[in-house]
Amino acid sequence: MPEREITYAEAVREAMCEEMRLDRDVYFMGEDIGVHCGAFGISAGMLEEFGPDRVIDTPISEAAFVGAGIGSAITGMRPIVELMFSDFMAVCYDQIINQAAKTRYMFGGQAKVPMVIRTPSGGGTGAAAQHSQSLEQMYCHVPGLKVVVPSTPYDAKGLLKSAVRDDNCVIFLEQKLLYCTKGVVPEEGYTIPLGSADVKREGKDLSIITYGRTVQMSLAVAGRLAAEGRSVEVLDLRTLSPLDTDAIIGSVKKTKKAVIVHEAVKFGGFGGEIAATIAGSDAFYCLEAPIKRVGALYSPIPFNPLLERTVLPGEDRIEAAVREIL
């Protein structure tokens, strides 16, 4: 397929536009997504192409418009709902965990909720404690939700198209500092199945298991260590629920060492689930060192940029963990 380099933000927009052109039941709504193109400019040009009936500016009430999305999904539409920041899930958490996640189960499959909730996630932008959190573990704990955290433009487009076509509610988390990153993306449409991890770099000495923005950091660390003759594998989970446990176990059995990395707070974070997956499998008997986790410190995200960098994991902390295990 013909390829070109585009940004992560452009890949997200392309995925939405392609799905809206293919299916009249797909529509997009959220705060300021029309004239103002959203907080990060993702929906530029969409209002002009699809009109205000399919690109809908909502009131400032996440509970109201997420609830409206659920209702429209149950009755046959396929909404893409944008939360301006993932932190705002707290405002509509009841709608997500008690309605979107449970309706299909409670109605014995007779009702479906084919809805995607897209939302910018994570820190690094100086947006302070209420606009910088990584809360994916709270979604992953709820049966009935699918949770996706792509790390590249290619993955963002392919996974979002699959999410729109899925008959369940999909939480699609886009880490903010990835929006400007570029990558090769085919011009033709394609999909990536949910629940499929991807080895971003092959290795044999240690596995870094990660997702989202820390994939790029982990690849940088692996590149530096390669110059010293160390072979580090980087496994990008891409989807947290459903989780590709086979890929995790297979990677650890090959390298016999594991470092788990995510931007979210380490305490109670999703890395604990990954560690438990390894410990509860036959990969445990292959381990030659303890499993190491790297995540944010147990603190709200500070506004001060120096303090923010201290709280969030960076390449230095990842490299230190990898060297310790090696």
- What is the set of active-site residues? 131
Burial of 16 (0-12, 13-18, 19+ CB in 10 A): buried
CB atoms within 10 A of CB 53: 7
Residue type at position 283: A
Half-sphere exposure at residue 44, Cβ-oriented, CA atoms within 13 angstroms: 7
* Separation of alpha carbons 163 and 192, rounded Å: 9
Q: Which H or E run includes 78?
A: strand 78-82
Q: What amino acid is encoded at 321 in this protein?
A: A
Cα Rg of the chain, angstroms: 19
Q: CB-based burial of residue 323 (10 Å sphere; 0-12 exposed, 13-18 middle, 19+ buried)?
A: middle
